[in-house]
Structure 1
Amino acid sequence: MIFKKDNFLLGFVFGLLAPLIGFIFFKYRNLGPLNYWEALQFVFVQPGHTILTAAISVSLLANAVIFTLYVNAKIDKTAKGIFVATCLYGIVMLLFKFLG
């Protein structure tokens, strides 16, 4: 089964995809009537970036969940890939928030 493989690249891919799932959850929960493009525009253009901060938190929480699952299962290479993707995702989002 693919979820039991101990592979850094697999973890990195999971770490890149999980925040997208988290954002989809956030969009349906808080920005329901907007389509995805409108939701992204609203999140990034909204003054004060309060919605952006909330969206980042929910998105990175999805990574925290899968990271915890892989660490507890002692599938360490995959967990490292998830961690690296989470760090990169967080850095990019902080750059968007503070510079954009």
Structure 2
Amino acid sequence: MIFKKDSLLFGAILGFIGPLIGVLLYKYVKFQVFSFKEVFQYMIYEPGHKTLSVALSLALLVNAVLFTIYLNINKDFTAKGIFIVTCIYGIVVLSLKTFG
């Protein structure tokens, strides 16, 4: 099974895909009636990028769950990959909140 693989690259890929799924879930819960284009334009052009930073912050919870799962099943390299990408996403969110 693909989820039993233990690799840094696989963890980085999962760490990148996890928040994307989280943002999509946020869109479906918070902005059901709007199209993807409308929602993402609003997130980008909103002054202060508050909605975008909230969406990304909540999306990082998906990575926290993935990280915990892979750490508990002793797939340390995969967990490291997820953690590295989560740190990068965290820096982006922090930058948006601070400088956006």
Q: TM-score, normalised by structure 2?
A: 0.89
Aligned length: 100
Cα distance in structure 2, aligned partners of 1:68 and 1:8 = 15
Cα distance in structure 2, aligned partners of 1:53 and 1:95 = 9
Q: Which runs of 5+ in 1 are unaligned?
A: none
Letter in 1 for 2:2: I
Aligned to 2:11: 11
Q: Which runs of 5+ in 2 are unaligned?
A: none
| Residue 96 to residue 53, structure 1, CA distance change in 2 (3 Å) | closer
Cα distance in structure 2, aligned partners of 1:83 and 1:95 = 18
Aligned to 2:34: 34
Letter in 1 for 2:21: I
1:97 aligns with 2:91: no
Which range is displaced more, 11-20 or 50-59? Answer: 50-59
Q: TM-score, normalised by structure 1?
A: 0.89
Identity score, percent: 48
Offset at residue 50 of structure 1 (A): 3.1
